[in-house]
Amino acid sequence: MSKMKSSESVKVVVRCRPMNDKEVAANFERVVSVDVKLGQVSVKNSRGASNEHPKMFTFDSVYDWNSKQVELYDETFRPLVDSVLLGFNGTIFAYGQTGTGKTYTMEGVRNDPERRGVIPNSFEHIFTHISRSQNQQYLVRASYLEIYQEEIRDLLSKDQSRRLELKERPDTGVYVKDLSSFVTKSVKEIEHVMNVGNQNRSVGATNMNEHSSRSHAIFVITVECSELGLDGENHIRVGKLNLVDLAGSERQNKTGAQGERLKEATKINLSLSALGNVISALVDGKSTHIPYRDSKLTRLLQDSLGGNAKTVMVANIGPASYNVEETLTTLRYSNRAKNIKNKPRVNEDPKDALLREFQEEIARLKAQLEKRSGKKKKKRRRRHPGEGGEELGEDEEDEDDDGDEEAEEDKDAPDYWRKQQDKLEKEKKAILEDHSLVADEKQKLLREKERKMEDMKKEKEASEMLAAKVKAMESKLLVGGKNIVDHTNEQQKILEQKRHEIAEQKRREREMQQQMECRDEETLELKETYSSLQQEVDIKTKKLKKLFAKLQAVKAEIHDLQEDHIKERQELEQTQNELTRELKLKHLIIENFIPLEEKNKIMNRSFLDDEDDHWKLHPITRIEDNQQMMTRPISAVGYKRPLSQHARMAMMMRPEARYRAENILLLELDLPSRTTREYEEPAIAPKVAAALEAALQDEDEIQVDASTFESIGNKKSKSSRPKTGKKSSTPTSASSPGSSASPLYPQSRGLVPK
Ligand code: ADP
Ligand code: MG
């Protein structure tokens, strides 16, 4: 028994559903038989040779097609949920081919109390337990999530397109980041949470049947319980219940799938095959590495498989012959899971208990409230002398007192406020009636009173708000017999009790029968004495035959398993081939169409993110330790930024500190050198000059000589003027004769009056 405490096996139960209408109509043979008493299932392999023995499997308990939901709950699930209420972690898996009753077992038919599944039954169980508890405070919250194609969706969140990530913390382990959880105060509330989640589940799916057969749904209930320990301290225990409706276990058809579709197909059952690998590795005993990290499901439920949790696995099977392969696979799979050892323990005072936060917040708010109504409280304190001893005692009594205290407050509070108000009103009246006061003074006093009244009103509102907040928070913390009352009568309670006892007895009986069966075979041998040699031969032959049959069965089993393995390997090889082919195509494209340099750059930047198993690229700036990109220019060694040659020279040469480290050039205007010259008259030799002078002189004389033909001469000189090029001399020479011959000027034509 002591060993049981430190480690316990995963409990595996099998449930076979009834034949459905179609199967009955098609007249399928029933190949599954169930021995409920012994906890054995046998499967007849109709395809094998006719003399082949049926395959036998033994489990913790088995349920046939007549099994009732309540029966399963009382015998198998109730003890687990009880453990959760004590602070253990618990997990219930439903495993099996699609259409074998996983959802029926987990959820069942919601509105029918007879056919309700584990999840609704556990709601009832948990809240009934709380309502009957004494001196304990409870906080219950629920979350609901789904894993589809390795993506996690929060079924309770408003934004259904968002995908959540898994994170790990050293103290609390793996958790889903940003998963919403709702504090629920009653069965109704938690049922509502489940309904909302279920609605969201179908919203995201185009084909609900296909979707549910390919996705895992996990409903999580966290129960926190606070109780006074033996050491006089308040302790919190936290139990977490995972209710898992797994994807259908049938093999997904991958043949012929390519590209995106192949990727999808390989992802669909990744979590499920990873679960199988984890189970194998755990049972193997030789494996040092358990591949939890291979899928989201196994990471999330790491504790439930070989860790700190109590786990029940329900293997659902169908009875008809055409499902025989899947049924056998399911039975083998769950048969292995039986051997997983868990190490459950009570989670006491974990750091992240929400209940503790609530309690602290309530205490803080209460203190605030007390401060506000300090006077009032003081009065009342005197009326309740010597209250409470130890910490929680006070707390608890507080709880108990709260009832009448609240009632008192209800009576008192309005009274108190009314009295104050009356007092102020009276004072106001007195002021109004007081004739000895001056009008001004009266007004002032009145205003003051009114302000006081206003303040009082505000104060009252604030206190009321605080009180409401405290009340709201306290209502979330459930206390048996107060916030939550059990309405079942004594007779029903006794009936329930008896049912549990019967369930327990049944379980023990089955265990004993299984043990007896084992021992029978051993002891028979020891006890037997033989009266004659012949008898010994007979008996031993019989035994030999029996053993031989067993040997054959085992051999057949080995053969089957090998065949299964071969089939699985072929499938894997095929997938691998497809993937290799695709990889080759990608290679071809990269090698031929992407420049080598670019490829290398990208290769250097890429890394595998373990958290979400995706290849990612480092941001470009981070490559600097590779010294390939974004290195600082050589000119900037030791400086804040690249410097020009000029700036550096300036720094060295000039004493002033200004612009020392700056890259500013100080430049005077650099005037360009002159490219033109002043005009100089060409130098003329004196002889030439004299000759020219002489020549011009002559011309003058000629003009003078021709004074009789002035009009002609004038015209001539005008036209000849440009030819000489000498402006200064010509006009003088021309005007001088003109001035003397003024009567020869033409008459004005009258345009400009003279
Ligand atoms: P799964 O979730 O494994 O795909 P379901 O739970 O949806 O399968 O069950 C398929 C059908 O079989 C449902 O119509 C369900 O009501 C019926 N069924 C399954 N198990 C039982 C059972 N034990 N008794 C009666 N009906 C059952
Ligand atoms: Mg289902």
Q: What is the pLDDT of residue 623?
A: 47
C-alpha 211 – ligand 2 centre gap (Å): 9
Q: Please state, in angstroms and rounded to a whole number, the distance separating the CA atoms of residues 337 and 272.
A: 13
Nearest atom of ligand 1 to the alpha carbon of 316:
3
Ligand 1, CB within 6 Å, residue ranges:
17-18, 20, 96, 98-104, 213, 248, 316
C-alpha 745 – ligand 2 centre gap (Å): 129
The percentage of the chain sitting over the pLDDT mark of 70, rounded to a whole number, equals 77
> Could you say which ligand is closest to the alpha carbon of residue 212?
2
pLDDT band of residue 108 (cuts 50, 70, 90) is very high
C-alpha 245 – ligand 2 centre gap (Å): 7
Q: What is the pLDDT of residue 123?
A: 94
Judged against a pLDDT cut of 50, whether residue 403 lies above it is answered with no
Q: What is the pLDDT of residue 45?
A: 74
Cβ 152 vs Cβ 295: under 8 Å: no
C-alpha 104 – ligand 2 centre gap (Å): 7
Range with the poorest average pLDDT among 49-53, 239-243, 557-561, 682-686: 49-53
Q: What is the pLDDT of residue 430?
A: 80
CA distances 499 to 74, 112, 489, Å, are 7, 20, 16
pLDDT band of residue 627 (cuts 50, 70, 90) is low
pLDDT band of residue 381 (cuts 50, 70, 90) is very low
C-alpha 216 – ligand 2 centre gap (Å): 9
C-alpha 98 – ligand 2 centre gap (Å): 6
Most confident of 65-69, 373-377, 438-442, 687-691: 65-69
Q: What is the pLDDT of residue 662?
A: 59
Token code pair at residue 157? 């969140």
Nearest atom of ligand 1 to the alpha carbon of 94:
3
Helices (H), 107-258: 118-132, 187-203, 208-214
- Radius of gyration from C-alpha coordinates of the chain: 51
> Could you say which ligand is closest to the alpha carbon of residue 110?
1
Judged against a pLDDT cut of 70, whether residue 429 lies above it is answered with yes
Residue nearest to atom 16 of ligand 1 (CA): 104
Task: Produce one character per residue of 100-109: b if its CB has 16 or more CB atoms within 10 Å, e if not.
Answer: bbbbbbbbbe
Q: What is the pLDDT of residue 149?
A: 85
pLDDT band of residue 258 (cuts 50, 70, 90) is low
Residue nearest to atom 18 of ligand 1 (CA): 101
Q: What is the pLDDT of residue 285?
A: 78
Judged against a pLDDT cut of 80, whether residue 753 lies above it is answered with no
Nearest atom of ligand 1 to the alpha carbon of 65:
23
- Testing ligand 1's pocket by substitution, the residue of 14, 15, 16, 17 carrying the most ligand atoms inside 8 A of its CB is 17
Q: What is the pLDDT of residue 712?
A: 47
Residues 729, 734, 735, 739: is their CA dihedral positive or negative?
Answer: positive
Q: What is the pLDDT of residue 18?
A: 94
Helices (H), 204-229: 208-214
Phi-psi category of residue 259: left, alpha or beta, with phi > 0 → left and psi -120 to 50 → alpha: left
Which residues partner with 315 through β-bridges?
A: 14, 95
C-alpha 191 – ligand 2 centre gap (Å): 18
Paired sense of beta strands 215-228 and 136-148, if any: antiparallel
Q: What is the pLDDT of residue 435?
A: 72
Residue nearest to atom 22 of ligand 1 (CA): 17
Average pLDDT over residues 229-238: 86
Residue nearest to atom 10 of ligand 1 (CA): 99
C-alpha 206 – ligand 2 centre gap (Å): 15
Nearest atom of ligand 1 to the alpha carbon of 67:
23
Nearest atom of ligand 1 to the alpha carbon of 104:
6
Residue nearest to atom 17 of ligand 1 (CA): 101
C-alpha 476 – ligand 1 centre gap (Å): 36
Nearest to 333 by CA among 240, 288, 269: 269
Token code pair at residue 615? 């290849």
Mean pLDDT of the chain: 79
DSSP string across 625-694: GGTSSSPPPGGGTTSSS---HHHHHHHHH----TTSSS--------PPPP------PPP--HHHHHHHHH
Phi-psi category of residue 256: left, alpha or beta, with phi > 0 → left and psi -120 to 50 → alpha: left
> Could you say which ligand is closest to the alpha carbon of residue 215?
2
Q: Please state, in angstroms and rounded to a whole number, the distance separating the CA atoms of residues 469 and 473.
A: 6
Average pLDDT over residues 386-410: 36
- Testing ligand 1's pocket by substitution, the residue of 15, 69, 104, 118 carrying the most ligand atoms inside 8 A of its CB is 104
Cβ 499 vs Cβ 68: under 8 Å: no
Q: How far apart are the first and last CA of the chain?
A: 148
C-alpha 88 – ligand 2 centre gap (Å): 27
